[in-house]
A and B are shown apart, each in its own frame.
Chain A
Amino acid sequence: EPEVTQTPSHQVTQMGQEVILRCVPISNHLYFYWYRQILGQKVEFLVSFYNNEISEKSEIFDDQFSVERPDGSNFTLKIRSTKLEDSAMYFCASSGDRGQKSVEKLFFGSGTQLSVL
């Protein structure tokens, strides 16, 4: 079964550094997402992306965050200047091979554990 792949699985960085988390969504999907889960807390929505632009973002997704689909296969999340509170598991997801995002299943990657020291 096709799957969403994320790299790296673990990322350790110093506060204030930039990080880029990478994702390869399922190839024929049209909608892409980033979610995160702080240890012991709920999975939270960050941003959705469709047709090369952000379609929705949460309050968490401030100016320090950006997303990009630099080519036909990769989808990246950049954090410009990391803070301690950015430490979390970051999940990429994709959906919508029929262009009907509201009724289709989301497929999640295995996540990148980001630790900010």
Chain B
Amino acid sequence: KQEVTQIPAALSVPEGENLVLNCSFTDSAIYNLQWFRQDPGKGLTSLLLIQSSQREQTSGRLNASLDKSSGRSTLYIAASQPGDSATYLCAVRTVGDKLIFGTGTRLQVFP
């Protein structure tokens, strides 16, 4: 059974720092991995999607990498800003239709 774990559970940093959020999954048979942002009481905003054949994806200050064989993905946030404060979720797409989510990393960036 696929399990997705994210560490750290929470992170508080000063503005300007570069950050790494980690995601691990137990079964490497995935189609893709997606990183989301969730603001309190709100929906999920898709940040990056990495296909199983890809190693990384970039969007602005965000870079996500995927090492399928070791069951790991990282989300790198460059030059963090207070507006980056949110919960970051990773989710893997497995055989079948569903995404399996991790528990998230709650990020706070203070000025």
CB neighbours (8 Å) of B100 from chain A are 45
Contact across chains for A43 and B91 when beta carbons are under 8 A apart: yes
CB neighbours (8 Å) of A103 from chain B are 31-32, 51
Which residue from chain B places its CB closest to the CB of A31 in the assembled complex? B97
Contact across chains for A110 and B46 when beta carbons are under 8 A apart: no
CB-CB under 8 A for A58 and B98, given A43-B89, A105-B34, A111-B43: yes
Q: Which of B29-43 contact A (CB under 8 A)?
A: 31-32, 34, 36, 41-43
Q: How far, in whole Å, are A42 and B36 apart by their CA atoms in the complex?
A: 13
Q: How far, in whole Å, are A91 and B99 apart by their CA atoms in the complex?
A: 13
Contact across chains for A102 and B93 when beta carbons are under 8 A apart: yes
CB neighbours (8 Å) of A56 from chain B are 96-98
Q: How far, in whole Å, are A58 and B46 apart by their CA atoms in the complex?
A: 23
CB neighbours (8 Å) of A91 from chain B are 43-44
CB neighbours (8 Å) of A58 from chain B are 98
Contact across chains for B42 and A43 when beta carbons are under 8 A apart: no
CB neighbours (8 Å) of A110 from chain B are 42-43
Partner of B41, one of A101, A104, A113: A113
Contact across chains for A108 and B44 when beta carbons are under 8 A apart: yes
Tell whether A107 is near chain B: CB-to-CB under 8 Å. Answer: yes
Closest approach, in angstroms, between the C-beta of B65 and any C-beta of chain A? 18
Q: How far, in whole Å, are A31 and B49 apart by their CA atoms in the complex?
A: 17
Tell whether A33 is near chain B: CB-to-CB under 8 Å. Answer: yes
Q: Which of A28-50 contact B (CB under 8 A)?
A: 31, 33, 35, 41-45, 48
Contact across chains for A33 and B97 when beta carbons are under 8 A apart: yes
Contact across chains for A42 and B98 when beta carbons are under 8 A apart: no
Closest approach, in angstroms, between the C-beta of B22 and any C-beta of chain A? 16
CB neighbours (8 Å) of B102 from chain A are 42
CB neighbours (8 Å) of A107 from chain B are 46
Q: How far, in whole Å, are A106 and B36 apart by their CA atoms in the complex?
A: 10
Q: How far, in whole Å, are A33 and B43 apart by their CA atoms in the complex?
A: 14
